Amino acid sequence: MAETQRHPFLHGLSKHRGAPPTVVVIFGASGDLTARKLIPAVYNLGVDGLLPADFFLVGYGRKAIPDEEFRTLAADAIKEFSRRELSHDVWDRIAAHTSYVAGGYDEKAAFDRLAAHIADLEKKLGREVQTLFYISTPPSVFAPILQNLGASGLAGKYLGQAHHAKVIIEKPFGKDLASAVALNATIRSVFAEHQVYRIDHYLGKETVQGLLVQRFSNAIFEPLWNRNFIDSVQITVAEEVGVGTRGGYYEQSGCLRDMIQNHTMQLLALTAMEPPVSLDAESIRDEKVKLLRAIQPLALGPDGDAARAQYAAGMIDGKAVPGYLQEEGIAKESATETYAALRLSINNWRWQGVPFYLRSGKRMARRVSEIAINFKRPPGALFAEGDRFNLATNTLSFQIQPDEGLSMILNTKVPGLETRTQPVKMNFRYATTFGSNTPEAYERLVLDAMVGDGTLFIRGDETEASWKLYTPLLEAWAKAGRDGMDTYPAGSWGPPSSDALLAKNNHVWRQP
């Protein structure tokens, strides 16, 4: 009892997931991601008893903010964005260990002040603590932050010990292969790879984590998970929203950089990789890298493996919305794609000849992310006669968002005196089975970084393998300008050129 009173976070603490005493430093502490995701994630870990007994939260940013004001802003963020209501009992314990340090990202003296602040926390605690740096800033300041973490000695703190310093880096990890290589070189000049956690929040989603479980813990799937039984794979990451006020950022990014190269490729890697030898982080990440390196170079040009488009004016939820070129901050001759579709070929024994179709876009018919495994049709000898047989392709679909779960389309007999068939869908939903208040992706990822589990994070060679595939396509699109740019009405499922990409193989996009 005395130990629980001295360390209130010990109450209910999971021994399996327990982290050492930790200081989490958030760079970009006044930013949108911190308010919407990071502060609520820390709070909910506290509610679940998963924060270490000695936990400290330090915000860092250019703007000078008193500690008490930063705590107030954090509490307001929890009230607005947390999946749970604010409990003053939990928040008061976190707030008592929450502080703020102001300084520039290229200001070495400010990082020295940060180091002194962390040393003071250790002195008051009477023990060494692990420091986890979360870089939640624009990529333009990644390099100075990393360099100053090295120059101040913070990056090398306790290196070689179990509670060494760690760094979480938000995407984007470069904008092409050359910039990704340069960023990785900067990272490795300061941190060892095992200290680095490149975060993609899609990997923290329950269905993405469950994909490995579904694939490798169910014996009915593995014998079928290959070219002999699977006809094609479709991965869709669709958004209803347009660019909104992010036009300036999006003009520098585009759909391929913003969604395909990172989120969508992570889904592809987990879907298609070989079984790892174990569930440890490096074994899983090794197989992901092997898979990415097995993807064949994209055929470029009008009849190649890619299509791009911009949304035009249309209707979303019964309301008229403008086209991309009419959005605020968008150049009238913009050649930035808001939609991209790709046909990928994987040159290995398991997937030879199986096309993988990827698509992502803004202002599409609805918000949905899914992986659809389309199986080959059985021989038509038994059910090919007449119009009584309505047969569909067997499809296993993993819904990533918004309704997390999976479904299977099967063909079955319609009750009656005649033999008639009809496809039916078997559904599993996380919310129905386990309740709707599942942890947010950032909760899982922040906790994993604290305990040193890199499974759901991206390794440096993984980022470079993905950029190596897409950099030639980006360069070709940049050279072509608006030539070859298709359009699609807002509220639709994409442009004609995307449909044509599949039609070459007698396939069609499924509508999730």
Which burial class, exposed, middle or buried, applies to 349 when counting CB atoms under 10 A from its CB (0-12, 13-18, 19+)?
exposed
What is d(CA 144, CA 101) in angstroms, rounded to the nearest whole number? 17
Residue 126: partners with Cβ closer than 8 Å, 6 or more residues away = none
Task: Tally Cβ neighbours within 10 Å of residue 174.
Answer: 22
Helix%, strand%, coil% for the chain, nearest 5: 40, 20, 40
Residue 359: partners with Cβ closer than 8 Å, 6 or more residues away = 234, 235, 236, 237, 238, 339, 340, 341, 342, 494, 498, 509
Q: Which listed residue (97, 163, 201, 263) is catalytic?
A: 263
The answer for 343, left when phi > 0, alpha when psi is -120 to 50, beta otherwise, is beta
Cβ pair 372, 359 in contact under 8 A: no
Is 263 assigned a catalytic role? yes
Tokens 């999730």 belong to residue: 512
Both tokens of 480, joined, read: 């072509």
Residue 198: partners with Cβ closer than 8 Å, 6 or more residues away = 168, 169, 171, 173, 457, 458, 459, 460, 463
Nearest one of 228, 199, 264, 261 to 447, comparing CA atoms: 199
Please report, to the nearest 10 degrees, the dihedral formed by the alpha carbons of residues 95, 98, 104, 105 taken in order. Answer: -110
List the catalytic residues: 263
